[in-house]
Structure 1
Amino acid sequence: MASGNQASLQDVQSRHCKFLSYMFYQAVRDHKPVWMLEDMRTMEYFYWEDDASQRTYSPSEALLYAVVHNHLPYAQYLLSHFPEEALKVPGEHFCYCPSSAPHLAMAVTYDRRDILGLIISIAHKLPSLNSYINRTGCFHLEDGKTPLHLACELLRSETVLILLGNGASPRIEDSKGLTPLDVILEQMWDSKVNVASKKLCLDYLLLFMPNPRFKMQKVLREHPEHWTVLLGEDKFNSLVGKVPPSLYLQAMQTILRTLPPSHFPKSIQELPIPQALKPLPGLGKLPSTKEMVNVSP
């Protein structure tokens, strides 16, 4: 009888905890004030009874919800007050690989560019997150894609430029051996939809990719008529290695290699060259860590 009562009590506690967890999720979704969310997140009632080490929401887990629901003030608070904790990989019940960057991937997926800028600013400041922007997703569930792969897959051209300018490598391959350039070229090969966005992503990738090597190069060589019409003769010949890239592209590649990622895009905007030559059409200024708003609970 005692064991039955204990099991019943545990079941009630579990349901109560799930209810409180849903309340917190709803509160983030409804953009409740930061002080209210922090009160809810840190309440002892939000701790599991059976395992005190499994708390319902850590700063990292709370940041995921802030990204998904675009709660910018809460994301600012978590990143400014718990920078390392907020960007840790969430607990095991969130099913993320320990070497992934789920917050960055979520910001790309949901097109949260303001929060993306905050995350990148913090990553530049913390030595422990030196390679954060190039972390790959789970090879079993996410095909080993980097945030740059995702941005190319979703044709988010401004996000592609933000990531590249802040140190994302266009040469990393996913589990299929595809670089972000392959991702764009595959989409160009498969469909004629959103051609302008695909070309813009392609141009941004080439700015940061001298001597490109990519899997789709074989397809380009086997179908020159198709690709010449799509890309133009000069770009096609450059991609298949018949001619060097244009002088403008070579010059920009050289310049971009000398600019520190932590100062992008300000470093581009300050270049003493005509505005028309700067690869930043419509790209706003990314926030720096100093510009992050400290929202007190």
Structure 2
Amino acid sequence: MSTSATNNGRLHTDEKCKQRKYQSFLFYQAVRDLKPVWMLEDMRTMETFYWEEDASQRSYTPSEALLYAIVHDHQAYAQYLLSHYTDEALAMPGERFCCCPSSAPHLAMAVRYDRRDILGLILQEAHRLPSLRSYMNRGGCFHMEDGKTPLHLACELLRSESVILLLGNGASPQAEDQNGMTPLDVILEQLWDSKVNIGPKKLCLDNLLMFMPEIRFKMKSALEGDPVCWSKVLGEDKFKYLVGQKPAPLFLMAMQTILRQLPPEQFPDSLDELPIPSSLKPLPCKQLGQLKVF
């Protein structure tokens, strides 16, 4: 083959790569601009987005498209993907999105970007799939999130509404990351490290305790080792409760008992239907109450 033909071949290949990259960006931009679902689906299934010559797949999967919908809060597209491709939408995306097959990147992304409506949609769909029975408690990517579950992440980012949604849908408050830290440990570290955002931190803590009748956490010995400082941080009653020196208040015990009876697959509707004043409910989303259990 002549040098001229080789160069022409390379130019043609480079031009194809540029075109595919440009078309790939167009799909991302279309999701960002909240284009209609039908248009996004036409673009998603076009076999033009992957520019690797040996790629077996040349269109975005529902899972990858859902990640884009979460990032840009395209609720209509997220709902479409979850209702029409539930298994595929919540399947692991390609390695360029996440490299840990046991994680739940869509939940983590919804928490990180504070997409509460889409978070609720994902949780509802996850209940319908037997294969996703442990979905809420999957640890995140060990390379990026130290194995934190979505609940760990919600506590770390002080997403109190997401904390309620995850707990009500069955997320375990006893789950540990790769360092043995529970979501309660994450909140306690937040309270100890800084006096900034004390209100949101204590609200996350109160919400967590209502779904946590059994107190088990790594930092208990740290609390016991410095009771004076921790009493100032938490308040004496809450400190004594966490270290086992005092029982829970009657209100907290009552709420723990009630919340344990609510079926996760019907949350938060089951919470709304409780025949108690709204001011006593740890309401999720836009109706979240500023409830203090101590």
Does the pair score TM above 0.5? yes
Task: Kindly state the Cα deviation for residue 127 of structure 1 after the two structures are TM-superposed.
Answer: 1.2
Q: Which amino acid aligns with 1:104?
A: L
| Secondary structure, counterpart of 1:35 in structure 2 | helix
Q: Is residue 85 of structure 2 the alignment partner of residue 82 of structure 1?
A: yes
Task: Kindly state the Cα deviation for residue 267 of structure 1 after the two structures are TM-superposed.
Answer: 1.5
Q: Residues 1-297 of structure 1: matches in 2 within 5 Å? A: 1=2, 5-48=8-51, 50-280=53-283, 283-284=286-287
Q: What are structure 2's unaligned runs of at least 5 residues?
A: 289-294
Task: Kindly state the Cα deviation for residue 29 of structure 1 after the two structures are TM-superposed.
Answer: 1.0
Cα gap change, 1:230/1:47 in structure 2, threshold over 3 Å: closer, same or farther? closer
Task: Kindly state the Cα deviation for residue 60 of structure 1 after the two structures are TM-superposed.
Answer: 0.8
| Secondary structure, counterpart of 2:96 in structure 1 | helix
Q: Which amino acid aligns with 2:281?
A: K
Task: Kindly state the Cα deviation for residue 283 of structure 1 after the two structures are TM-superposed.
Answer: 4.7
| Secondary structure, counterpart of 1:139 in structure 2 | coil
Task: Kindly state the Cα deviation for residue 251 of structure 1 after the two structures are TM-superposed.
Answer: 2.0
Q: Which amino acid aligns with 1:262?
A: E
Give distance in 2, aligned partners of 1:61 and 1:147: 18
Task: Kindly state the Cα deviation for residue 91 of structure 1 after the two structures are TM-superposed.
Answer: 1.0
The 8 Å contact of residues 31 and 74 in structure 2, kept in 1 or not, is answered as yes
Q: Which amino acid aligns with 2:61?
A: S
Deviations 1:5-34 (A, max 9, x none): 444433322222111101111111111111
Cα gap change, 1:37/1:202 in structure 2, threshold over 3 Å: closer, same or farther? same
Give distance in 2, aligned partners of 1:201 and 1:27: 35
The 8 Å contact of residues 21 and 51 in structure 2, kept in 1 or not, is answered as no
| Secondary structure, counterpart of 1:44 in structure 2 | coil
Q: Corresponding residue for 2:292?
A: none
Give distance in 2, aligned partners of 1:36 and 1:281: 33
Q: What is the root-mean-square deviation in Å for CA atoms of aligned residues?
A: 1.9
Task: Kindly state the Cα deviation for residue 264 of structure 1 after the two structures are TM-superposed.
Answer: 1.1
Give distance in 1, aligned partners of 2:237 and 2:76: 47
Q: What are structure 1's unaligned runs of at least 5 residues?
A: 286-297
- TM-score by length of structure 1 reads 0.90
Give distance in 1, aligned partners of 2:87 and 2:284: 33
Question: What is the aligned length?
Answer: 285
Give distance in 1, aligned partners of 2:124 and 2:216: 30
Task: Kindly state the Cα deviation for residue 215 of structure 1 after the two structures are TM-superposed.
Answer: 1.4
Give distance in 2, aligned partners of 1:228 and 1:95: 41
Cα gap change, 1:53/1:113 in structure 2, threshold over 3 Å: closer, same or farther? same
Structure number with higher relative contact order (C-alpha < 8 Å, ≥ 6 residues apart): 1
The 8 Å contact of residues 13 and 49 in structure 1, kept in 2 or not, is answered as no
